[in-house]
Structure 1
Amino acid sequence: MHITNIQRGQADAFWKLRLEALKNHPEAFGSSYEEQVHTPVSEVESRINEEPDNYILGAFTEAGELVGMAGFRREQGMKVRHKGMVWGVYVSSKHRGQGIAKMLMQEILRRGKEIEGLRLIQLTVVTANTAAAALYKGLGFVSYGLEKEALMVQGQTYDEEMMSYFLG
């Protein structure tokens, strides 16, 4: 498995995987498949950043297939620049159980330690996703809150646990 930044030229593969995530696991993401499916790839391409503090990691097989992803962005405001946010972590179902999400998260944490002034990395995880929560806790993330009924999907509500990883 090769972990590297998704480039603008890979927008098609990224968007296909992102839509798969939204469609197959609507309870796990704040965005919805229905709202995103008609987004033109050209717009998706323009959103892909290639900066050290705002990027999307991809997990690629030896054959070059994109099978996992995780986004990171640093907060921009003067008072919140010490924080970063992980978003959109997803591994395709046929590639789960191979440690791919862990590799993606370890790379985000490694890069976070190299960003000057960054002190913590935050994320949210739906409490029903116990495997993801266990992964994040195993990497050193700590819970700092619970948002009850954070998401509503087809009339069912989902709670989200808010977590932080302190860099130093």
Structure 2
Amino acid sequence: MHIKRLESVHAELYKKLRLKGLQSHPSAFGSSYEEEKEFTIEVYKSRLQSESMTLGAFKSDEKLIGIVTLVKEKKNKLKHRANVYAMYVDSEYHGMGTGKSLMIEVIKRAKELDEVEQIYLSVNKDNEAAKKLYISLGFETFGIDKRALKIEDTYYDEEHMVLFV
């Protein structure tokens, strides 16, 4: 497995994996499969060309198996912060260290950005595997957003976590 920054040439692979994640784990994301399935490939290319950074984990055969996005805050008072979004590893590759490798790399890259002192993320309160990973990397919970997501008639709480670097 190797990790690299995704570029517009990876848009088709990114879209396919992103939609799989949204469809198979709807309570893990603020976006929905129904919304994003309608996006053109140009929307995904634009995401990958933006100032945010999306990393991809590839199997040796160049199959994209995991993704994570890092966004640095731009406002003067928030420039010391970055946010991790859209972390997803294809369920076929769970338990192989892919998620940990992606998070280690995204933390490394965040530390290389000017002024970043804190990295934030949110995770479904019931996602014990993800929370265990984040805690093992030094993230700490600082709050719970009750009923953060609503899917049909079910609410999901999110834990907000921070890593001081």
Which residue of structure 2 lines up, in the alignment, with residue 8 of structure 1? 8
> What's the offset of the Cα at 1:50?
6.4
1:67-117 C-alpha deviation (Å, 9 max, x unpaired):
000000101111101100000000001111101000000001111221121
Matching residue of 1:131: 129
Q: Indicate which of 107, 110, 127 corresponds to 1:109.
A: 107
Instruction: Report the Cα distance in structure 2 between the residues aligned to 1:47 and 1:134, rounded to whole angstroms.
Output: 29
After superposition, the Cα gap between the structure-2 partners of 1:60 and 1:50, relative to the gap in structure 1 and judged at 3 Å, is farther
Name the counterpart of 1:121: 119
Please state whether the residue corresponding to 2:150 is helix, strand or coil: strand
How many residues are aligned here?
165
Write the mapping of 1:59-98 to structure 2, written as runs, cut at 5 A: 59-98=57-96
CA deviations 1:21-41 (Å, max 9, x no partner) are: 000000110000011101000
CA contact (8 A) 2:70 2:110 kept: no
1:23 is the counterpart of 2:23:
yes
**What residue in structure 2 maps to residue 58 of structure 1?**
56
Deviation at 1:154, TM superposition (A): 2.0
Give the distance between the partners of 1:50 and 1:35, measured in 2 at CA: 20
Q: What amino acid sits opposite 2:64 in the alignment?
A: L
Alpha-carbon distance between aligned partners in 2 of 1:43 and 1:142, rounded to the nearest angstrom: 33
Query: In 2, are the aligned partners of 1:5 and 1:50 still within 8 Å (CA)?
Result: no
Off by >6 Å, runs of 4+ in structure 1: none
Contact kept in structure 2, 1:150 and 1:160, CA below 8 Å? yes
Task: Supply the RMSD in Å over aligned alpha carbons.
Answer: 0.9
The separation in 2 between residues aligned to 1:38 and 1:113, in whole angstroms, is: 35
Q: How far has the Cα of 1:157 moved from its partner?
A: 0.5
- Identity, % of aligned positions: 39
Q: TM-score, normalised by structure 2?
A: 0.97
Task: Specify the code of the residue in structure 2 equivalent to 1:149.
Answer: R
Any stretches of 5+ residues in structure 2 without a counterpart?
Answer: none
User: Which residue in 2 is equivalent to 1:152?
Assistant: 150
Q: Deviation at 1:44?
A: 1.2
Kindly indicate which of the two structures has a greater share of residues assigned to helix: 2
